[in-house]
A and B are shown apart, each in its own frame.
Chain A
Amino acid sequence: MKKKDSQAELLKPKKTVTERERTFAMIAIPILILFFLFNTLPLIKGFIYSFTNFKGYGSYEWVGLRNYIDLFTDARVGKSYLFTVKLAFFTTILVNIVSLLMALGLNAKIKFKSALRGMYFLPNILGALVVGYIFNYFFTYIVPAIFHTTSILASGSKAWIAVMIVCAWQAIAMNTIIYISGLQTVPEDVYEAGMLDGATGWSKFRHLTFPLIIPFFTINMVLCMKNFLMVFDQIMALTKGGPAQSTESISFLIYNNGMSGGQFGFQSANAVIFFIVIVTISVFQMRFLNSKEEQL
Chain B
Amino acid sequence: MSKKNNDLSAVKVKEKFNWPLTILLILGLITVLFPLYMTIVIAFKQPSEMTNSISGILSLPQHWSFSNFREAMEVTDFWRSLLNSVLITGITMGLALVIHSLMGYAVARNMQNSKFYRTSYYYIVSGMFVPFAILMMPLVKQTAELHIANVVGVILCYTVFYMPMNVLLYSGYLKNIPVALEEAAHVDGASTWTTYWKVIFPLMKPMHATVAVLTALGTWNDVMTPLVIMSGSGMNTLPLAQLTFQTQFGTNYNLAFASYLLALLPMLIFYLFAQKQIINGVVNGAVK
Q: Does B112 contact A (CB under 8 A)?
A: no
Partner of B131, one of A105, A124, A138, A278: A278
Residues of the A chain whose Cβ atoms lie less than 8 Å from the Cβ of B267: 125-127
Give bound CA distance, A102 to B120, whole Å. 40
CB distance A42 to B142 under 8 Å?
yes
Give bound CA distance, A234 to B103, whole Å. 34
Q: Does A108 contact B (CB under 8 A)?
A: yes
CB distance A56 to B279 under 8 Å?
no
Partner of B137, one of A133, A141, A268: A268
CB distance A135 to B35 under 8 Å?
yes
CB distance B137 to A49 under 8 Å?
yes
Partner of A45, one of B124, B138, B253: B138
Question: Given A110-B21, A274-B134, do A193 and B4 touch, yes or no (CB 8 Å)?
Answer: yes
Nearest Cβ on chain A to B259's Cβ, whole angstroms: 9
CB distance B129 to A278 under 8 Å?
yes
CB distance B131 to A39 under 8 Å?
no
**Cβ-closest chain A residue relative to B9:** A192
Q: Does A123 contact B (CB under 8 A)?
A: yes
Residues of the A chain whose Cβ atoms lie less than 8 Å from the Cβ of B209: none
Partner of A56, one of B21, B127, B137: B137
Nearest Cβ on chain B to A218's Cβ, whole angstroms: 11
Q: Does A271 contact B (CB under 8 A)?
A: yes
Stretch at the interface among A30-38, A63-71, A87-95, A152-160: A30-38
Question: Given A23-B193, A236-B243, do A105 and B21 touch, yes or no (CB 8 Å)?
Answer: yes
Question: Given A122-B32, A124-B282, do A255 and B136 touch, yes or no (CB 8 Å)?
Answer: yes
**Cβ-closest chain A residue relative to B221:** A127
Partner of A35, one of B31, B163, B275: B163
CB distance A39 to B5 under 8 Å?
no
Residues of the B chain whose Cβ atoms lie less than 8 Å from the Cβ of A259: 136-137, 140, 228
Nearest Cβ on chain B to A285's Cβ, whole angstroms: 8
Q: Does B110 contact A (CB under 8 A)?
A: yes
Contact with B along A166-185 (1 / 0, CB 8 A): 00010001100110010000
List which B23-41 residues lie within 8 A (CB) of chain A: 24-26, 28-29, 31-33, 35-36, 38-39
Tell me the number of A-to-B contacts counted with CB atoms below 8 Å. Answer: 254
Give bound CA distance, A109 to B17, whole Å. 5
Q: Does A233 contact B (CB under 8 A)?
A: yes
Residues of the B chain whose Cβ atoms lie less than 8 Å from the Cβ of A254: 133, 136-137
Residues of the A chain whose Cβ atoms lie less than 8 Å from the Cβ of B106: 24, 27-28, 31
Residues of the B chain whose Cβ atoms lie less than 8 Å from the Cβ of A108: 18, 21
Give bound CA distance, A19 to B156, whole Å. 29
Residues of the A chain whose Cβ atoms lie less than 8 Å from the Cβ of B270: 125
Partner of B127, one of A11, A23, A39, A45: A39
CB distance B38 to A142 under 8 Å?
yes
Residues of the A chain whose Cβ atoms lie less than 8 Å from the Cβ of B141: 45
Nearest Cβ on chain B to A192's Cβ, whole angstroms: 6
Partner of B133, one of A120, A123, A193, A255: A255
Stretch at the interface among B51-59, B60-68, B199-207: B51-59
**Cβ-closest chain B residue relative to A250:** B133
Partner of A142, one of B54, B120, B256: B54
Partner of A271, one of B33, B109, B131, B246: B131
Partner of B224, one of A41, A46, A123, A255: A255
Question: Given A146-B54, A268-B137, do A129 and B18 touch, yes or no (CB 8 Å)?
Answer: no
**Cβ-closest chain B residue relative to A56:** B137
Partner of A130, one of B32, B142, B264, B286: B264
**Cβ-closest chain A residue relative to B29:** A119
**Cβ-closest chain B residue relative to A204:** B4
**Cβ-closest chain A residue relative to B262:** A130
CB distance B116 to A11 under 8 Å?
yes
- Additional 13 contacts, C-beta under 8 A, given A27-B102, A108-B18: A28-B107, A31-B163, A42-B142, A43-B130, A46-B137, A56-B137, A109-B17, A117-B279, A126-B221, A127-B238, A131-B35, A193-B4, A279-B129
B interface residues, Cβ below 8 angstroms from A: 1, 4-5, 8, 12, 16-19, 21-22, 24-26, 28-29, 31-33, 35-36, 38-39, 42, 52-54, 57-58, 99, 102-103, 105-107, 109-110, 116-117, 120, 123-124, 127-142, 156-157, 159-161, 163, 186, 191-193, 217, 220-221, 223-224, 228, 238-239, 242-243, 246, 253, 256-257, 260, 263-264, 267-268, 270-271, 275, 278-279, 282-283, 286-287
13 sample A-B contacts, Cβ–Cβ < 8 Å, listed by A number = A28-B107, A39-B160, A43-B135, A46-B134, A122-B32, A126-B221, A126-B267, A127-B264, A133-B242, A146-B54, A193-B1, A232-B223, A275-B131
